[in-house]
Amino acid sequence: MSRVLGDVGERAGEEVQVERGPLGPAQFWRGQGRYVVGELLDSWVETAPWWQHAAGGASADLVAPRQVFRVEALRAGRSRMSFAGVYDLCWDAADNRWSLVRVHD
């Protein structure tokens, strides 16, 4: 099961600060907590569905992709024996921001 942060189909999510490593996110901050990425599980590129854009021709948003990274991360200060969560972090180049879009239970 996963929780989507924001309305289904929206490009929004919870804004987070991310420190990027050579392959993707190395750690991120959510609220007061810091999460250390243990493993990059997957990554892909998404574009918003065409029906979410205003009519009237091509839009830069229509072709503006966002990159999603599925990572396994552990809250800093907890032992590796603790449960590590799975998070989908999104880099939206058009908005120049990182967001947390899904948390997998």
For residue range 44-76, what is the model confidence (pLDDT) as tens digits? 998 766 665 555 555 555 556 889 999 999 988
What does the pLDDT read at residue 9? 44
Q: Model confidence at 42, in pLDDT bands (50, 70, 90)?
A: very high
What does the pLDDT read at residue 101? 93
Domain range summary for the chain, segments of one domain joined by +: 14-47+63-104
User: Would you state the structure tokens that stand for residue 73, as one six-digit string?
Assistant: 């991360």
Mean pLDDT for the stretch of residues 4-13: 53
- Prediction pTM value: 0.76
Place of tokens 């569905």: 49
What does the pLDDT read at residue 84? 82
50 or 22, higher pLDDT: 22
pLDDT at residue 14 is higher than 60: yes
Residue pair 14/5 in contact (Cβ under 8 Å)? The answer is: yes
User: Would you state the structure tokens that stand for residue 70, as one six-digit string?
Assistant: 């599925």
Residue pair 12/99 in contact (Cβ under 8 Å)? The answer is: yes
